[in-house]
Amino acid sequence: MVNVPGRSKGLAKASQPVVGKFHGLGLVCVGYGEQSPPEGRQISAKPRRIRGLLGDILAIHPIFSEISVIVTPTPLAGAVVVDPELLVDHRGYFARLWCEREFASHGLNPRLVQCSVSYNTAKGTLRGMHYQADPYPEAKFLRCTRGAVYDVIIDLRPGSHTYLRHFAVELSAANRRMLYVPEGFAHGFQTLEDHSEVIYQMSEFYRSDLSRGVRWNDPAFGIEWPDVEHRIIADRDATYPDYAPEARA
């Protein structure tokens, strides 16, 4: 049996493990044997009859196409929390973190042109609140790959019904949670642990001439940050002026 935490499907018996390697695609697909499955969603291992290379892949590991992401809307229009659906076995787990087709089906911008990492030595480090102005605003897709952060976004789109509202979520290596941030949002975070690391994927190339920010403690947004004995913040982030819509561009 093959198991994934989440929704429930029917049961099926599986044969001995079979491994298929498709080096040209960078894929290794594994079929499962007779080990006792962990708790979670059970998906039939019966091969599907699909022609071509895709059919060969699914015949070896038919659950490959079943792996998905769990998209949960936030109170802010267009921003969503994304959780991976784990394919679990005795070795650990496998999960898909991003899919162009699936993101587009949820109305999210699937374009990815740059990926960056933010490493933070100490707990209490605050970065933000940053955004890229028109005509090249960027959507961001974020994940904490080490430690934990209190991640905050602000809707700065004047025409939005959630304009000036904020949303916060804890992202950590342990919870594997991810956050999709639409264009027109400011983003920032405060680290909850030493040696925390955040991976960013962006829909637009970075433009220093369009780099903007709003202050982390501006009363216009009313963000309640976690208490910390010593907050570490860059001078630029600490001294943004009070928010003025006309200065946003």
- Angstrom distance (rounded) from CA 42 to CA 89: 11
Among 26, 41, 149, 37, CA closest to 86: 41
Are 145 and 193 in contact by the 8 Å Cβ rule? The answer is no
Catalytic residue among 93, 136, 163, 200: 200
161 is catalytic: no
Are 138 and 210 in contact by the 8 Å Cβ rule? The answer is no
Residue 6 DSSP one-character state: S
Catalytic residue among 32, 61, 130, 131: 130
Positive or negative CA dihedral for 226, 227, 232, 235? positive
106 is catalytic: no
The token pair at 194 is: 């030493």
Please, is 127 exposed, middle or buried when counting C-beta atoms within 10 Å of its C-beta (0-12, 13-18, 19+)?
buried
The token pair at 148 is: 């934990």
**So which residues are the catalytic ones?**
130, 200
